Structure 1
Amino acid sequence: MTTAGVRATARISARDDGRGGTSLPVLEGDGPLALRRTRASGSEARVMLVGAMSGPLGGDHFTVRAQVHEGARLHVGSAAATIALPGQNKGEARYDVRLDVADGGELRWLPEQLISAGGSDLSVSSRVELRGGAGLVFREEQVLGRAGEEPGRLTSRLTVRLDGRPLLDQEVACGPGAPGGWDGPAVLAGHRALGQLVVVRLEFEKEPVRARLLGEHAALVPLAGPAVLVTALAPDGLRLRRVLDEALRTLGC
């Protein structure tokens, strides 16, 4: 590792193969970001992101890019949780996710959880660009600290745009150095796991989803467009996943 930290990029490109399936003409990762194609499900190609090293550590900068072309269907998961660690290099680590889905394409982005270990400092930036009738299921889960551990500093921003128009743009900061009140009753209220789902489907324009609670600390709300947002808090990652899985079933995903 250099004093500047590790730079690593993973790239995925998914295309309609013309035979009822999805091909992956680009599937490449370097350094700690390895990509593996797994067994397809119908017309959907499946890719697993495998961490080949610990991290991101202080000073690291990881980027994952995925492009889904017209008529292609792509499911991206990860083999294990991502753990942000302090490392030997000082400074903030960065993890950027850049996703682009064409009209008629569909992306299911369902990685495992991100854990902010004590002493770490990580900034996550996720940007999703959708066009026309693109479909999206995007899950994001964050756990503040390992068992019995205080969290690191975590800043996370998620932006979802459809044809250049924002559907969602929000940011959260937690842990040491974050703006005051992040753990107070108006924000996390002592919970250590937070997550969200963004689901975009054309049918939501014709049959809007009504806002409702999904338990004591989870809610489903429609966004301005063919999209819904589910946000949830939980004491730990396991209970958070149960809530979000139930939300996926509620939405027929």
Structure 2
Amino acid sequence: MSDSSLLKMPTRSTGAMFARAALSSGLAANGRDSRVETLRSDGPLVLRKSNPKGPEPLTQRRHGVARVALAAGTAGPLGGDSYALDVHVGAGSTLVLLEVSAMLVLPGAGGDRSHMSIDVTVEEGATFVWWAEPIIAARRCNHRHDVRIALAEGARMILREEMILGRHGETPGDFTSRLRITRAGAALYDQQLSFGPSADGWNGAAVLGHGRAVGSIIAVEPDWEEAPPPALPYHQDAVLTPLAGPGVAIGAVASDSLELRRLLTQGLNELGPPWAI
């Protein structure tokens, strides 16, 4: 099912926008192909089905996957806005979530914090690919980005996250991002990053230094249960690290978004097929 409706008007005091979107996938009647079962979105978060042109990368070259694109229906989020996205990947299905463009986080008139909350559940035997575009923390913004992912024991997942510290030639606003992943109820990955005028030490050598872009790729593969890929510092500003479970984290810091994407892709290619792109 699919519907689209604009959420209510902003609160009188701040003009804030509140939006929620939901997406789910499941198996088609033939028991092999995947299909989109729920697709609901509010104005600022626009979800649309997207048709692949061939076998989907990062899904072991599968055909018949469910593929959805997320686009911004309005500018922002702006200070005071609150967005939420719920994703459910049904047992045995494969869902690919792409993003159409970068998210530009902007300040609001009153200096309030904006918030994006994303909750993902991936059931047994399912595969979730989330290929996000960068989040740009514009000058004077104040934003928190929370992502929580719950994986079943036999679930497979890969996601990319990228943060850019301000637009060209500007200092970033305040930005905090936290990514928490559990597998079969146990913690697998939990990382928080804060930067901007209100954060201490973020531009020191132990965190971002002179970097203007930072990001990661997290891959979880049940086949790595006994032998995950080894640690590999493949660049002075990038590393591939095994997790305490069947997964790896690829992390990089770079001078700009183009170099960050190159470093993350290089780390992915170090994993080899079927991950290489």
Which TM-score bucket, shorter chain as reference? over 0.9
1:245 pairs with 2:256: no
Structure-2 residue corresponding to 1:77: 98
- The TM-score, its normalising length taken from structure 1, stands at 0.97
Structure-2 residue corresponding to 1:27: 39
1:11 pairs with 2:22: yes
- The TM-score, its normalising length taken from structure 2, stands at 0.88
Structure-2 residue corresponding to 1:92: 113
Report runs of 4+ in structure 1 exceeding 4 Å deviation. Answer: none
Between structures 1 and 2, the one with greater strand share: 1
Provide the aligned C-alpha RMSD in A. 1.1
1:63 corresponds, among 84, 90, 95, to 84
| Matched positions, count | 252
Corresponding residue SS for 2:79 = coil
Structure-1 residue corresponding to 2:163: 142
1:39 pairs with 2:51: yes
Contact 2:153–2:222 (8 Å) recurs in 1: no
Corresponding residue SS for 1:248 = helix
Q: CA deviation at 1:4?
A: 5.3
Structure-1 residue corresponding to 2:4: none
Structure 1 residues 89 and 48, CA gap change in structure 2 (3 angstroms): farther
1:113 pairs with 2:134: yes
Structure 2 unaligned regions, length at least 5: 1-9, 57-62
In structure 2, how many angstroms separate the alpha carbons of the residues matched to 1:4 and 1:135?
A: 40
Contact 1:15–1:72 (8 Å) recurs in 2: yes
1:231 pairs with 2:251: yes
In structure 1, how many angstroms separate the alpha carbons of the residues matched to 2:132 and 2:189?
A: 20
In structure 2, how many angstroms separate the alpha carbons of the residues matched to 1:135 and 1:43?
A: 17
Structure-1 residue corresponding to 2:233: 213
Structure-2 residue corresponding to 1:192: 212
Trace 1:115-194 onto structure 2 (pairs within 5 A): 115-178=136-199, 180-194=200-214
In structure 2, how many angstroms separate the alpha carbons of the residues matched to 1:89 and 1:135?
A: 42
Corresponding residue SS for 2:235 = coil
Contact 1:5–1:89 (8 Å) recurs in 2: no
Structure 1 unaligned regions, length at least 5: none
Q: CA deviation at 1:114?
A: 0.2
Give the partner amino acid of 2:238. A
Contact 1:60–1:94 (8 Å) recurs in 2: yes
In structure 2, how many angstroms separate the alpha carbons of the residues matched to 1:167 and 1:4?
A: 38
Contact 2:164–2:212 (8 Å) recurs in 1: yes
Give the partner amino acid of 2:185. G
In structure 2, how many angstroms separate the alpha carbons of the residues matched to 1:4 and 1:91?
A: 11
